[in-house]
Amino acid sequence: MMDDLRELYQEVILDHGKHPRNFRHPDDANREAKGENPMCGDRFMVYLTLKDGVVDDVAFQGRGCAISTASASMMTELVHGKTAAEAEKLFHAFHELCTQDEPDIPEGVDDETMEKLMVMSGVRQFPVRVKCATLAWHAMNAALHGEASASSDQF
Protein backbone atom coordinates (compact mmCIF):
# COMPACT_ATOMS: atom_id res chain seq x y z
CA MET A 1 0.00 0.00 0.00
CA MET A 2 2.64 2.52 1.03
CA ASP A 3 4.77 1.18 -1.84
CA ASP A 4 2.19 2.59 -4.22
CA LEU A 5 2.50 5.95 -2.50
CA ARG A 6 6.30 5.85 -2.83
CA GLU A 7 5.88 4.92 -6.46
CA LEU A 8 3.53 7.86 -7.01
CA TYR A 9 5.49 10.40 -4.99
CA GLN A 10 9.04 9.48 -6.03
CA GLU A 11 11.81 11.81 -4.92
CA VAL A 12 12.17 13.23 -8.40
CA ILE A 13 8.45 14.04 -8.49
CA LEU A 14 8.54 15.67 -5.06
CA ASP A 15 11.52 17.69 -6.22
CA HIS A 16 9.85 18.88 -9.44
CA GLY A 17 6.67 19.58 -7.45
CA LYS A 18 8.48 21.80 -5.01
CA HIS A 19 10.92 23.38 -7.43
CA PRO A 20 9.25 23.38 -10.82
CA ARG A 21 11.54 24.03 -13.81
CA ASN A 22 10.63 26.56 -16.48
CA PHE A 23 8.04 28.15 -14.24
CA ARG A 24 7.80 31.44 -16.11
CA HIS A 25 6.15 33.29 -18.97
CA PRO A 26 8.56 33.67 -21.90
CA ASP A 27 8.30 37.02 -23.70
CA ASP A 28 8.59 35.48 -27.14
CA ALA A 29 6.04 32.70 -26.65
CA ASN A 30 3.86 32.41 -29.75
CA ARG A 31 1.48 29.70 -28.57
CA GLU A 32 -0.27 29.33 -25.27
CA ALA A 33 -3.08 27.24 -23.84
CA LYS A 34 -4.81 26.96 -20.50
CA GLY A 35 -5.19 23.60 -18.79
CA GLU A 36 -7.93 23.42 -16.24
CA ASN A 37 -9.23 20.79 -13.83
CA PRO A 38 -12.64 22.06 -12.68
CA MET A 39 -12.87 19.46 -9.94
CA CYS A 40 -10.03 20.88 -7.87
CA GLY A 41 -9.49 24.27 -9.45
CA ASP A 42 -6.00 23.48 -10.67
CA ARG A 43 -5.07 25.74 -13.54
CA PHE A 44 -1.96 26.02 -15.68
CA MET A 45 -0.92 28.15 -18.62
CA VAL A 46 1.52 26.43 -20.94
CA TYR A 47 3.62 28.64 -23.22
CA LEU A 48 5.40 27.48 -26.36
CA THR A 49 7.86 29.29 -28.56
CA LEU A 50 7.74 27.48 -31.90
CA LYS A 51 10.49 28.35 -34.36
CA ASP A 52 10.63 26.59 -37.72
CA GLY A 53 8.51 23.77 -36.36
CA VAL A 54 10.75 23.25 -33.33
CA VAL A 55 9.87 23.89 -29.67
CA ASP A 56 12.52 26.53 -29.04
CA ASP A 57 11.17 27.32 -25.58
CA VAL A 58 8.47 25.88 -23.36
CA ALA A 59 7.35 27.06 -19.93
CA PHE A 60 4.33 27.13 -17.65
CA GLN A 61 2.70 29.01 -14.82
CA GLY A 62 -0.23 28.35 -12.52
CA ARG A 63 -1.12 26.40 -9.43
CA GLY A 64 -1.72 22.75 -8.83
CA CYS A 65 -0.93 19.74 -6.68
CA ALA A 66 2.46 18.04 -6.48
CA ILE A 67 1.53 15.58 -9.21
CA SER A 68 0.25 18.12 -11.73
CA THR A 69 3.07 20.59 -11.01
CA ALA A 70 5.80 17.95 -11.27
CA SER A 71 4.32 16.56 -14.44
CA ALA A 72 4.17 20.05 -15.99
CA SER A 73 7.75 20.73 -14.98
CA MET A 74 9.02 17.44 -16.40
CA MET A 75 6.98 17.97 -19.54
CA THR A 76 8.81 21.24 -20.24
CA GLU A 77 12.17 19.51 -19.95
CA LEU A 78 11.16 16.67 -22.25
CA VAL A 79 9.49 18.72 -24.94
CA HIS A 80 12.15 21.39 -25.21
CA GLY A 81 14.06 21.17 -28.50
CA LYS A 82 11.66 18.67 -30.04
CA THR A 83 9.82 19.19 -33.29
CA ALA A 84 6.07 19.77 -33.02
CA ALA A 85 5.49 16.24 -34.35
CA GLU A 86 7.87 14.73 -31.77
CA ALA A 87 6.24 16.70 -28.96
CA GLU A 88 2.85 15.42 -29.97
CA LYS A 89 4.20 11.88 -30.06
CA LEU A 90 5.51 12.32 -26.50
CA PHE A 91 2.07 13.50 -25.42
CA HIS A 92 0.50 10.33 -26.77
CA ALA A 93 3.20 8.14 -25.21
CA PHE A 94 2.72 9.81 -21.84
CA HIS A 95 -1.04 9.54 -22.03
CA GLU A 96 -0.75 5.81 -22.76
CA LEU A 97 1.65 5.31 -19.84
CA CYS A 98 -0.68 7.04 -17.39
CA THR A 99 -3.87 5.37 -18.46
CA GLN A 100 -3.12 1.92 -19.88
CA ASP A 101 -1.83 -1.19 -18.13
CA GLU A 102 -0.44 -2.28 -21.50
CA PRO A 103 0.49 1.04 -23.06
CA ASP A 104 0.70 1.33 -26.83
CA ILE A 105 3.77 3.54 -27.20
CA PRO A 106 4.27 5.26 -30.56
CA GLU A 107 7.49 4.34 -32.34
CA GLY A 108 10.52 6.57 -32.23
CA VAL A 109 10.57 7.51 -28.55
CA ASP A 110 14.12 6.86 -27.30
CA ASP A 111 14.91 4.87 -24.17
CA GLU A 112 16.13 7.78 -22.10
CA THR A 113 12.98 9.76 -22.78
CA MET A 114 10.84 6.70 -22.04
CA GLU A 115 12.58 6.32 -18.69
CA LYS A 116 11.76 9.90 -17.79
CA LEU A 117 8.17 9.51 -18.89
CA MET A 118 7.88 6.31 -16.84
CA VAL A 119 8.52 8.22 -13.62
CA MET A 120 4.94 9.44 -13.60
CA SER A 121 3.39 6.09 -14.49
CA GLY A 122 2.79 5.22 -10.82
CA VAL A 123 -0.28 7.41 -11.16
CA ARG A 124 -2.02 4.48 -12.89
CA GLN A 125 -2.66 3.01 -9.44
CA PHE A 126 -4.54 6.19 -8.50
CA PRO A 127 -7.18 6.65 -11.21
CA VAL A 128 -8.55 9.92 -9.80
CA ARG A 129 -5.08 11.44 -10.06
CA VAL A 130 -4.50 10.65 -13.73
CA LYS A 131 -6.08 13.96 -14.68
CA CYS A 132 -3.58 15.74 -12.46
CA ALA A 133 -0.65 14.07 -14.22
CA THR A 134 -1.91 14.73 -17.72
CA LEU A 135 -3.23 18.27 -17.24
CA ALA A 136 -0.21 20.24 -18.46
CA TRP A 137 0.45 17.71 -21.22
CA HIS A 138 -3.05 18.24 -22.55
CA ALA A 139 -2.50 21.99 -22.41
CA MET A 140 0.81 21.63 -24.26
CA ASN A 141 -0.87 19.53 -26.93
CA ALA A 142 -3.68 22.09 -27.22
CA ALA A 143 -1.10 24.86 -27.66
CA LEU A 144 0.66 22.86 -30.37
CA HIS A 145 -2.63 22.72 -32.25
CA GLY A 146 -3.35 26.40 -31.74
CA GLU A 147 -6.20 25.78 -29.32
CA ALA A 148 -6.76 28.09 -26.39
CA SER A 149 -7.57 25.61 -23.67
CA ALA A 150 -7.90 22.03 -22.51
CA SER A 151 -10.30 21.04 -19.75
CA SER A 152 -9.92 17.80 -17.85
CA ASP A 153 -13.65 17.31 -18.38
CA GLN A 154 -12.76 16.29 -21.90
CA PHE A 155 -9.72 14.12 -21.19
Partner 1 sequence: MSDAILNQAYDVQRVREDFPILARSVHARKGKPGKPLVYLDSGASAQKPRQVIQAMTRFLEEDYSNIHRGVHFLSQTATDQFEAVRAKVARFLNAPNDRCIVFTRSSTEAINLVASSYGRTFLNEGDEVILSIMEHHANIVPWQLLQAEKKIVIKVVPCDEDGVLDMDAYRGLLSDRTKLVAITHCSNVLGTVTPAKTIAKLAHERGVPVLFDGSQAVVHGMVDVQDIDADFYVFTAHKLYGPTGLGVLYGKYDLLKKMPPYQGGGDMIESVTFEGTTFKAPPSRFEAGTPPITEVIGLGAAIDYVEALGRDAIAAHEHDLLQYATQQLSQVEGLRIVGTAPGKGPIISFALEGVHPHDVGTIVDQYGVAVRVGRHCAEPLAERFGVGPTVRASFGLYNTREEADALVQSLQAVKEFFGA
Residues at the contact surface with partner 1, assessed by CB under 8 A: 1-2, 4-5, 8-9, 14, 18, 39-42, 63-67, 69, 126, 128-129, 132
Q: Which is nearer to partner 1, 4 or 77 (CB)?
A: 4
Q: In angstroms, what is the minimal distance from the CB of 122 to partner 1?
A: 11
SS (H, E, C) the chain: CHHHHHHHCCHHHHHHHHCCCCECCCCCCCEEEEEEECCCCEEEEEEEEEECCEEEEEEEEEECCHHHHHHHHHHHHHHCCCEHHHHHHHHHHHHHHHHCCCCCCCCCCCHHHHHHHHHHHHHHHCHHHHHHHHHHHHHHHHHHCCCCEEEHHHC
Please report how close the Cβ of residue 69 comes to partner 1 at its closest, in angstroms: 8
Q: Which is nearer to partner 1, 57 or 122 (CB)?
A: 122
Residue 140 Cβ vs partner 1, minimum distance, rounded to whole Å? 20
- Pick the closer one to partner 1 by CB: 42 or 86: 42
Nearest distance from C-beta of residue 61 to partner 1, angstroms? 15
Closer to partner 1 by CB, 107 or 128: give it: 128
